[in-house]
Amino acid sequence: MNIMSWLWDIQGGATLGVIWAIMALGLYLTYRVLNYADLTVDGSLTLGGAVSAVCVAAGVSPILAILIATISGMAAGSVTGFLHTKFKIPDLLAGILTQFALYSINLRIMGKANFGLLNEVTLFSQIKALGIPSKWAGLLVGVVFAVVLIIAVYCFFGTEIGCALRATGNNPHMVRAMGANTKVYIVLGLIVGNGLVAMSGALLAQYQGYADINMGVGTIVIGLAAIMIGEVLFSKKTYFHRLAGVVIGSVVYRIIIAFVLRISLTADTVIKITADDMKLITAIIVVIALIAPGLKDSAVAKLSGKEGD
Amino acid sequence: MLDIKHVYKTFNKGTPVQKEALIDLNLHLDEGDFVTIIGGNGAGKSTMLNAVAGVFELDKGHITIDGNDVTKDPEYKRAKYIGRVFQDPLRGTAGDMWIEENLAFALRRGKNRSFKWGISNKEREQFVELLKTLDLGLEDRLDSKVGLLSGGQRQALTLLMATIKKPQLLLLDEHTAALDPKTAKTVLEMTNKVVTENHLTTLMVTHNMNDAIKYGNRLIMMDHGHVILDISGEEKKNLKVSDLLAKFEEVSGKEFSNDRMMLAK
Ligand SMILES: Nc1ncnc2c1ncn2[C@@H]1O[C@H](COP(=O)(O)OP(=O)(O)O)[C@@H](O)[C@H]1O
Ligand SMILES: [Mg+2]
């Protein structure tokens, strides 16, 4: 076994991990903080990728392309928010409807199912041009984005508005009783959350050199895996720890995936695990994480029940 | 201060479980009135408080607070006039947030919230002073999660939150019912102190007739979605539980039945 290839797996996993972590931060905002299961994200990640790719191909500067993509994701989030708050469509359905509509919109934006960025100037090619080795350019960009966003989201949580957003997810009755309109904060959370998801898609498209109509499939599950791995590894102390936990969870998730593929590649198994099996494996990780606290509780209950006998 | 005029509210209209919860409800409160409210289960006490707070739209009628017609205002808009404490200790606070965050949130009741960061030291000092008055040791725990507090501590904190920015109207809905008798008594004494010291116009629902007689300057009894008895002044001071029961039977023509109502001393 070649130790170097394992190290490169870690490095490659970390790069994808930090880029996808930006999506996980967005999902953390809606799913954990706002307590809103937002399925828009599968569509808004692709939307971010599509807008970013098309802009770059049209000669827009890569960083501006990422900004435009982020704004498009915010618009998608606001649609879900309005469907839910204005027209009282249940949260899951509101997200699914937007996601479904985005499929068509994303195809319209790209004009085809796969939009390549061969030889275009991307943020990553710009960094490489500064003399950074290409293997490290992706990691550098991803880490800078992730760190800046952790700090930005943390600061946002500390503001009066951020506080109201957190309280809305925690106890909407109290928020209304204290004179704040919960609907405003739900829409705001969905806007910011989907903005982050689209930003992640925008970076991803530039990193891998193409946007694909299916690049967002399973985003919500991948995000949940990152959030839950982060929560297992980090106890929920301060929000700073929790946000950093999300990013680290995303990195760890990617490294796990890379290792599974590597083992399957080198080991002599009958069934070869391929990248296509990762959705199944990810779903299993999330299911385990979802039922694990319950398992622990029921085990404790059983134990203490026996003690009582 | 508060005017409830010809208010009607029916839940689940047109269904088999239709319920007329408020029927031609009328009530006028003068500034500084501390009104205790009693009545059997389902009499409409909570519904009246929720109608005032704007939790739902009225079928008919008008509600005016301090001269402002708030009938059409949603809950969050009316909150600038109203402080509330609920029966469920979990309802009035954000359990995942710190004590100081909850208080800071309450201090901004009815104000526009901005991107201003954090809690000022002056505010923190104010919180410590206020928490000291509760005498529960919470002044040393500003950065404790509210979810870690006991029910009584949470209700005391909610009371602080409801009054930290002086409300024109304070609504208390059986806010001690979920607490053990000793804690309930403490929180009730605290309530009385806050209300009388600040001359707060207050509606307090209680299931304890003795408390209803002991506290406040006015007592009303509700039945079938409206007020059937309204006693104040000297008459209220000299009231006894047996008088109340007799009055109830006289007005409603039936016996007062409520297993949760505490009749004994
Ligand atoms: N949101 C609601 N939906 C349906 N029925 C309700 C609702 N709120 C209250 N009711 C009904 O209205 C009646 C009055 O309830 P409530 O005001 O809670 O009584 P109480 O005097 O015990 O506080 C009850 O019959 C109750 O079941
Ligand atoms: Mg009630």
Are the beta carbons of B83 and B65 closer than 8 angstroms? no
Regarding the beta carbon of B18 and ligand 1, being less than 6 Å apart is answered no
Tens-place pLDDT, residues B63-89: 999 999 999 999 999 999 999 999 999
- Is B39 touching ligand 1 by the criterion CB < 6 Å? yes
CA distance B93 to chain A (A): 6
State the residue range of the domain holding A147. 3-303
Contact B36, B221 (CB under 8 A): no
Pick the residue whose CA is nearest to atom 16 on ligand 1. B44
Q: Where are the domains of chain B?
A: 2-81+167-252+259-264
| Contacts of residue A34, Cβ cutoff 8 Å, sequence gap at least 6 | A165, A168, A169, A185, A186, A189, A190, A193
- Is A196 within the bounds of a domain? yes
- Does A309 map to a domain? no
B165 lines ligand 1 (CB under 6 A): no
CA distance B262 to chain A (A): 29
pLDDT tens digits, one per residue of B41-68: 889 999 999 999 999 999 999 999 999 9
The string of pLDDT tens digits covering residues A1-38 is 578 888 888 998 999 999 999 999 999 999 999 999 99
Residues A160 and A304: their CA atoms lie apart, in Å, by 44
pLDDT at position A301, please? Answer: 59
Q: Strands B2-11, B169-173: parallel, antiparallel or unpaired by DSSP?
A: unpaired
Closest atom of ligand 1 to B39 CA is 21
The residue whose CA is least distant from atom 24 of ligand 1 is B42
Q: Is residue A7 part of a domain?
A: yes
Residue B224 CA, ligand 2 centroid: distance in Å: 13
Q: Which residue of B has its CA nearest to A174?
A: B92
Query: Pairing between strand B68-69 and A210-212?
Result: unpaired
Please provide the CATH number assigned to the domain covering B2-81+167-252+259-264. 3.40.50.300
Structural domain total, chain A: 1
**A273 — pLDDT class (breaks 50, 70, 90):** confident
CB A171 within 8 A of CB B95: yes
Picking from A161, A174, A175, the nearest residue to B114 by CB comes out as A161
Q: At CB < 8 A and 24+ separation, what contacts does A245-249 make?
A: A246/A21, A246/A24, A246/A25, A246/A28, A247/A17, A247/A18, A247/A21, A247/A24, A247/A25, A247/A146, A247/A150, A249/A21, A249/A24, A249/A225
Nearest CA to ligand 1 atom 25: B42
Q: Is residue A308 part of a domain?
A: no
Answer whether B172 contacts ligand 1 (Cβ < 6 A): no
User: How far is A201 from A105, CA to CA, in rounded Å?
Assistant: 15
Q: Do A160 and B115 touch (CB under 8 A)?
A: yes
Q: Could you tell me if residue A67 is inside a domain?
A: yes
Residue nearest ligand 1's atom 6 by CA: B11
Angstroms from B165 CA to nearest CA on chain A: 10
Q: How many CB atoms lie within 10 A of CB B85?
A: 27
Mean pLDDT of the B189-215 span: 94
pLDDT value, residue B190: 92
Query: Is residue A102 in some structural domain?
Result: yes
